[in-house]
Each structure stands twice: as structure tokens, then as C-alpha cells.
Amino acid sequence: MLAETHHTLSINQDTFAEVYRQYWEKVYAVCYNNIRDVEVAKEMVQDIFKSLWERRHELELENVGHYLIRSAKYKTFEFIRNKATRQRIDEFNYQGCVNASNCTEEQVLFNDLKDNVDLLVDTLPCQCKRVYKMSREEGLSNKEIALKLAISERAVEYHITRAMTTLKQKLAIFNKK
């Protein structure tokens, strides 16, 4: 049994083997009890002991057991934090993907609808089409349209109403397809 001392522990191959035998189970228990996954806990224990071996020349340990248990707690905390972060990122990416696909789908539907409206507008009688485009595409008021086309505001209203009625009827048929 390796005696716990309060002086610096130098780790050679024999000491390391003894530390591993004495503490592997305790370190594993800390890891497993925090994450409840046998394989991940075993990997963590291996990582902790590997790090101990690789850093043996630079570490000055007064209490190797305390160091290993602290390492196990830190490792499990880091795992849990990273897992939670990964879940948040996955959820965010999923939402982004859903939103992006909804946006893409909505954009495709919008473009399709706009193309159909444009085709239907082109089938309107000439003056009706001109008034509709000036109103809806150019954003001109009824008064401005009347002045530009030298017609009454009442005629502008008539053409817009006729265009909208025709478009609604034809788009209703389009939506039923």
C-alpha cells in the first residue's frame, strides 16, 4: 500500500503502477457516479492516469490520491458541461435548420405565387393591367395614376377592383390544383 505523505512524490514506473492499482477503482467510482456511463468513465480514468504519467516530471504532488480524485471530479464536470453545451448547440442548429428550411420553403412558395400573379396580371385587359401595376408595383396613389393616364380616379378604382377580383378568382383556382 502506498503511504500518503505530505512531501513531494516522485513518480517512476513502479510508483505509477502502485498508484494505479491503489486508486483506479476510486477514480473510476467518482467518474461513474457522476456520469453513469461505464465506457466513458473508463475512458476518463485512462485519460487521468495517462496525464499523470505524461506530466510526472513536472508535477509536484503532496497527496496523489487527492490529486487523482480532484482530477476525476474536474474531468466529469468538464464532460457534463461539454455535453450540455453540445446539446444546446445541437438544439440551436436544429432550430436554425428548421427555421432555414421553413424560410427556404416559404421563399419558394412566395416566388411561385409571385410568378403566378405576374402571369395572371399579364392576362388582364391593357388599361386594367397598367393601372394595377402602377398601383401595386410602383406604389402610386389613385390620384397620381389618374393624372398620369388622364382618366378619372373613379376609373382607376374600377380597374383596380376589376384586377383584384380577377386575380382572386384565378388564384383560388390555382390553389385548388
Taking only the tens place, the pLDDT of each residue in 8-22 is 566 788 889 999 999
Q: Which of 110, 146, 6 is nearest to 65 (CA)?
A: 6
pLDDT over 80 at 3, yes or no: no
Model pTM above 0.85: no
Task: Tell me the pLDDT band of 7, cut-offs 50, 70 and 90.
Answer: very low
CATH of domain 13-91: 1.10.1740.10
How does pLDDT run across 67-83, given as a tens digit for each residue? 999 999 999 988 887 77
The better pLDDT of the pair 111, 41 is held by 41
Q: Which of 131, 135, 126 is nearest to 151 (CA)?
A: 131
CB atoms under 10 Å from CB of 11, counted, come to 17
pLDDT attached to residue 90: 65
If you search the block for the grid coordinates 516522485, which residue do you land on? Answer: 10
Residue 123 has which C-alpha cell? Answer: 392576362
How does pLDDT run across 87-134, given as a tens digit for each residue? 776 677 666 655 555 667 777 777 787 888 888 888 899 999 999 989
Separation of alpha carbons 134 and 1, rounded Å:
94
Report domain extents, the chain: 13-91, 123-176
Provide the CA 125 distance to its chain's centre, in angstroms: 49
Separation of alpha carbons 133 and 131, rounded Å:
6
Helix (H) or strand (E) holding 86: helix 64-122
Task: Tell me the pLDDT band of 85, cut-offs 50, 70 and 90.
Answer: confident
pLDDT attached to residue 102: 63
Instruction: State which CATH number among 1.10.150, 1.10.8, 1.10.3470, 1.10.10 fits the domain covering 123-176.
Output: 1.10.10
The better pLDDT of the pair 157, 11 is held by 157
Angle at 108 between CA 104 and CA 110, to 5 degrees: 115
pLDDT attached to residue 38: 93
The packing angle between helices 13-35 and 38-54, to 10°, is 150
CA distances from 121 to 25, 43, 108, 127 (A): 79, 68, 20, 11
pLDDT attached to residue 114: 80
The better pLDDT of the pair 102, 157 is held by 157
CA distances from 120 to 90, 111, 134, 140, 171 (A): 44, 14, 16, 21, 8
